[in-house]
Amino acid sequence: MSLIFDRFPSTEAAETFVAEMEILHGLPGKVYATQAESNKDDFFPWRLDPPIALIDRASLETEEDVERAVIAFGGEFAGT
Question: Is residue 9 within 8 Å of 72, Cβ to Cβ?
Answer: no
**Phi/psi class of residue 57: alpha, beta or left (left: φ > 0; alpha: ψ in -120 to 50)?**
beta
For 9-31, write each residue's pLDDT tens digit: 999 999 999 999 999 999 999 99
Query: pLDDT category, 38, cuts 50, 70, 90?
Result: very high
* C-alpha dihedral, 34 to 66 to 3 to 7, nearest 10°: -30
Percent of the chain with pLDDT over 70: 100
Question: Is residue 74 within 8 Å of 35, Cβ to Cβ?
Answer: no
CATH number for the domain including 26? 3.30.70
Question: Structurally, how many domains does the chain consist of?
Answer: 1
What is the predicted pLDDT for the residue at 21?
97
Q: Is the model's pLDDT at 1 over the cut of 90?
A: no
Across residues 28-52, what is the average pLDDT? 97
Range of the domain at 16: 2-79
